[in-house]
Chain A
């Protein structure tokens, strides 16, 4: 063989970047930058905040006191030793927050502001600030004060970076018990939801029951309402004045019971979609083989059905678990005194203004969410390989007894779901439950209540529309760049990681991270704080991943050779993008936009930290009206969200059909 057999030394040939390559990289960098600023930086800000503690370090200050003449000075003495002698402040008293103050006069029991005694103060280190009036001092020089000025001197806390917040958190029994509560609620809800959804999906895919379409429609309804709406319905049914209260036999609906029932309601459709997909890909031939081997139907169920659906079941379990453990609305409405992690974040931040502790709870909440996310991703990868193009779809055979059982199952679930919505509707229309049951629209007069009024509803509509449009554009373009750019492998992998990240971040955590990042006056993006824009950004980011995956799936189905062909025809990529890629992916694009719209209407968790007086939202208004005791108007606002989402869904179905009919004529053979 002639020539050498190993690669000769030298530089590898690299193609020159053409205009397309540059434009594509710019786009990807832009959207990558968006995700970096809207996700990575805020999370980083939050994480670093969770390690910061504030406290007064008395060892860093020294005082000198004069006699009555103001000329003869005593020995310098440190504040720490003064405190030791006095026993005034305990270690707990010295812990503080970012804007804590400690009056120095507390260290001098005989201080009087009228006395002629003078005081001197100096910091022994440069990072020991104190206030004189409103002026912050950072000097190690002695400063002299007359007694009248001295009473306006305050020490400022110094920051320490460390694990102290975590130590405090885990030694606080009340906070720590929330972990237990959250896990308990999440696990119980997951078992119930996955069990119910499996039976329901089994009925839809493997039995011959009637009204499958109606059942499916009803099962999807909870997606259209905020997660806290079932809480309101449960209060009406089983609350202190609920007409079914007797059924609880003394148990209170406020607490774990209510949270679990509500969680089953709002997570049901999510679990159903996943399990139903897993069951729908069954291969008829496996069942025929089992039958020919004379396996009993019970044995077939355990050896064919369950293994075939196991990835779907695992995935559904983790999705449900994550939804419940990160949910905030439901425990807020019906949790009573029962604390869970998401509530703790809210209480620490909104109630106690203890942002650092809020950050710590957020980090704790991140752990199960990230864990569930990673396992779910692993399982999803395996699920794909189960699909085979040669599978023969399963055809259920009628079986009277079995079908009756399945019908009963579906009826029970459907009545539960439709019932919850119906109770909310009735509550919204009834004048004064349970005393005056005549109908009226007075509960819809939102402008008469706190919570933002009708303006909140219009804000929500605006947010949903903007999120749908901007979010879909950003997500689809980003996915296109990941999928269809050649080379630039490291950049694409990083981008893909950023795009997957939001799914692992609970909304509460994202919202709190936004406070830390955007509310920082030093941040040039600070102007976004309190605007509609930050609500759009947080919502797009919060729901980024599902849209991204939908877009990727659609793009992967497009022939990878379109780009080379267009390049060989010397056409810019954007022409291919506009003329071919977008029209071909239109069904997926519409799906992403409706997903963004519906979620923007219902989300509470991320935006509850970020709305301002003029950007109040309908979903938050439900929360606040409920908080204020206006439960009927809260139900009415929840129903407004339901009507809107239902209408958007119908509009979407209608528009999809029309657009598909017009632009996708090529699909028909």
Chain B
């Protein structure tokens, strides 16, 4: 989506971006895995490639790493054209989901692997290894073998090994996917902190939206080999550029409707929307997030206020911090709505299955996307 890219033009920052991907395609025989990818990444940025499996995010990372070169297009890093350089002549460190730690070498030897054979004196290498072990919070573990460490510890060693040679670019290929949920959340934070401390430009591939939203400075959402949207986590979440993004990130109600003079018509209801650039009478899909639906006490007038709907609660699920509530509205016809109501609201308004109430769909939170696009 080129318009999404242009909307997200680099902020006021002079000079060439650190990594510049231009018109990249990747074909595996007949199958096209990347279509015309153009993307700039600034120095020191933490960027996540996010998308469902098969969207091309790993393919793009492998092209940047020189492991599986793009079929067409160029990649420039720090002003240098690296499009056709083999991996060994590029400048990056990489961490894989499998960690790829050398099992027969101790943790120290693993970290030192990229430092040895470079003419550095032994003492300097030892000092650097100790420094890195401290940096990843495992100062005492240097003499152990990888198999003696937990998954999270192994991942940190892999990280230390990757940054040992001070690479200009850090590539993380689903680094947290193989870990337990608890460890994952903890490591997310640690990796982010480490990245900030080092200021190294970082690209992380993930299919976990929570991971991307919590770690990235900018997220590149991909689908079917194209970039759907590039933006900060809040931009992506609040203003999804496409229905795919709205649906993939977070949760959303999707309702088929028709656009008409700054509003969408669904059944008998007309809901004002902030969406622009759509022609009158165009078929659209309206999207509104469950947490953007605001509950009010049931009104009794037959015609509620603009963007208000009279609804009936059909069922509720308790999800800890909120209630997931299924609603139906006569005005919308058959289409059900899902809304997330806080514990407070549920208690205050006496919301329970079968109860009637009025909900508000704020105009600026009602999104509309052209159908069939």
Residues of A within 8 A of B (CB): 1-8, 10, 12-18, 20-21, 486, 559, 561-562, 564-572, 575, 579-580, 583-584, 663-669
**Distance between Cα atoms of A10 and B27 in the complex (Å):** 13
16 contacts between A and B (CB under 8 A): A1-B1, A8-B72, A10-B72, A16-B86, A20-B88, A564-B67, A564-B96, A564-B100, A565-B94, A565-B100, A567-B87, A568-B65, A568-B162, A569-B113, A569-B164, A668-B147
**Residues in A whose Cβ lies below 8 Å from that of B167:** 568
Q: Does B344 contact A (CB under 8 A)?
A: no
**Distance between Cα atoms of A82 and B84 in the complex (Å):** 77
**Residues in B whose Cβ lies below 8 Å from that of A668:** 147
**Distance between Cα atoms of A183 and B76 in the complex (Å):** 67
Q: A2-B1, A565-B94 are in contact. List 8 more A-B contacts (CB 8 A).
A: A1-B226, A2-B2, A4-B36, A16-B84, A17-B86, A18-B86, A570-B165, A666-B145
Q: Which residue of A lies closest to B96 (CB)?
A: A561
Q: Does B232 contact A (CB under 8 A)?
A: no
Would A13 and B72 be within 8 Å (CB), given that A561-B96, A664-B104, A666-B104 are in contact? yes
Q: Contact: B102 with A15, CB < 8 Å?
A: no
Q: Contact: B104 with A15, CB < 8 Å?
A: no
Chain B interface size, under 10 / 10 to 19 / 20 to 34 / 35 or more: 35 or more
Q: Contact: A562 with B102, CB < 8 Å?
A: yes
**Distance between Cα atoms of A15 and B89 in the complex (Å):** 11
**Distance between Cα atoms of A140 and B25 in the complex (Å):** 69
Q: Does B79 contact A (CB under 8 A)?
A: no
**Residues in B whose Cβ lies below 8 Å from that of A6:** 32
**Distance between Cα atoms of A663 and B72 in the complex (Å):** 46
| Contact flags B57-89 to A (C-beta < 8 A → 1, else 0) | 000000001110111110000000001111111
Q: Does B35 contact A (CB under 8 A)?
A: yes
**Residues in A whose Cβ lies below 8 Å from that of B23:** 8
**Residues in B whose Cβ lies below 8 Å from that of A10:** 72
Q: Does B105 contact A (CB under 8 A)?
A: yes
Q: Contact: B148 with A7, CB < 8 Å?
A: no
Q: Contact: B105 with A579, CB < 8 Å?
A: yes
Within 8 A of A (CB), among B231-260: none
Q: Does B321 contact A (CB under 8 A)?
A: no
Q: Which residue of B lies closest to A11 (CB)?
A: B72
Q: Contact: A564 with B94, CB < 8 Å?
A: yes
Minimum distance in angstroms from B148 CB to a CB of chain A: 6
**Residues in A whose Cβ lies below 8 Å from that of B67:** 486, 564
Q: Contact: A580 with B105, CB < 8 Å?
A: yes
Minimum distance in angstroms from B197 CB to a CB of chain A: 21
Q: Does B295 contact A (CB under 8 A)?
A: no
**Distance between Cα atoms of A579 and B114 in the complex (Å):** 13
**Distance between Cα atoms of A575 and B164 in the complex (Å):** 18
**Residues in A whose Cβ lies below 8 Å from that of B27:** 7
Would A568 and B94 be within 8 Å (CB), given that A4-B36, A21-B86, A562-B100 are in contact? yes
Would A584 and B96 be within 8 Å (CB), given that A7-B71, A569-B165 are in contact? no
| Contact flags B89-119 to A (C-beta < 8 A → 1, else 0) | 1101110101010111100000001100100
Would A667 and B147 be within 8 Å (CB), given that A20-B88, A564-B65, A564-B87 are in contact? yes
**Distance between Cα atoms of A377 and B73 in the complex (Å):** 42
**Distance between Cα atoms of A668 and B146 in the complex (Å):** 11
**Residues in B whose Cβ lies below 8 Å from that of A486:** 67
| Contact flags B162-177 to A (C-beta < 8 A → 1, else 0) | 1011010000000000
Q: Does B3 contact A (CB under 8 A)?
A: yes
Q: Which of B70, B90, B114 has the most CB of A within 10 A?
A: B114
Within 8 A of A (CB), among B1-16: 1-3
**Residues in B whose Cβ lies below 8 Å from that of A666:** 103-105, 145-147
B147 is contacted by which of A4, A571, A669 (Cβ under 8 Å)? A669
Q: Contact: B113 with A566, CB < 8 Å?
A: yes
Would A567 and B88 be within 8 Å (CB), given that A2-B1, A575-B117 are in contact? yes
Q: Contact: A561 with B148, CB < 8 Å?
A: no
Q: Contact: B104 with A663, CB < 8 Å?
A: yes
Q: Contact: B165 with A669, CB < 8 Å?
A: no
**Distance between Cα atoms of A570 and B161 in the complex (Å):** 12
**Distance between Cα atoms of A583 and B86 in the complex (Å):** 27
5 pairs of A and B residues whose beta carbons are closest in the complex: A569-B114, A2-B2, A666-B145, A3-B36, A561-B100
Q: Contact: B92 with A14, CB < 8 Å?
A: no
**Residues in B whose Cβ lies below 8 Å from that of A1:** 1, 226
Minimum distance in angstroms from B97 CB to a CB of chain A: 9
Minimum distance in angstroms from A598 CB to a CB of chain B: 28
Q: Contact: A16 with B85, CB < 8 Å?
A: yes
**Residues in A whose Cβ lies below 8 Å from that of B102:** 562, 579-580
Q: Contact: B25 with A8, CB < 8 Å?
A: yes
Q: Contact: B87 with A568, CB < 8 Å?
A: yes
Minimum distance in angstroms from B280 CB to a CB of chain A: 23
Would A569 and B84 be within 8 Å (CB), given that A561-B100, A580-B104 are in contact? no
Would A571 and B117 be within 8 Å (CB), given that A16-B85, A666-B145, A667-B147 are in contact? yes
Would A13 and B162 be within 8 Å (CB), given that A2-B1, A562-B102 are in contact? no
Q: Contact: A571 with B113, CB < 8 Å?
A: yes
Minimum distance in angstroms from A487 CB to a CB of chain B: 9
**Residues in B whose Cβ lies below 8 Å from that of A564:** 65, 67, 87, 94, 96, 100
**Residues in B whose Cβ lies below 8 Å from that of A8:** 23, 25, 72
| Contact flags B130-160 to A (C-beta < 8 A → 1, else 0) | 0000000000000001111000000000000
B98 is contacted by which of A14, A561, A663 (Cβ under 8 Å)? A561
| Contact flags B119-132 to A (C-beta < 8 A → 1, else 0) | 00000000000000
**Residues in A whose Cβ lies below 8 Å from that of B146:** 666
Q: Contact: A568 with B147, CB < 8 Å?
A: no
**Residues in B whose Cβ lies below 8 Å from that of A15:** 66, 69, 84-86
Q: Contact: A14 with B165, CB < 8 Å?
A: no
**Residues in B whose Cβ lies below 8 Å from that of A566:** 113
Would A3 and B35 be within 8 Å (CB), given that A575-B117, A579-B105 are in contact? yes
B70 is contacted by which of A13, A569, A665 (Cβ under 8 Å)? A13
**Residues in B whose Cβ lies below 8 Å from that of A583:** 104
Q: Which residue of A lies closest to B89 (CB)?
A: A18
B161 is contacted by which of A7, A559, A569, A665 (Cβ under 8 Å)? A569
Q: Which residue of A lies closest to B67 (CB)?
A: A564
**Distance between Cα atoms of A571 and B98 in the complex (Å):** 20
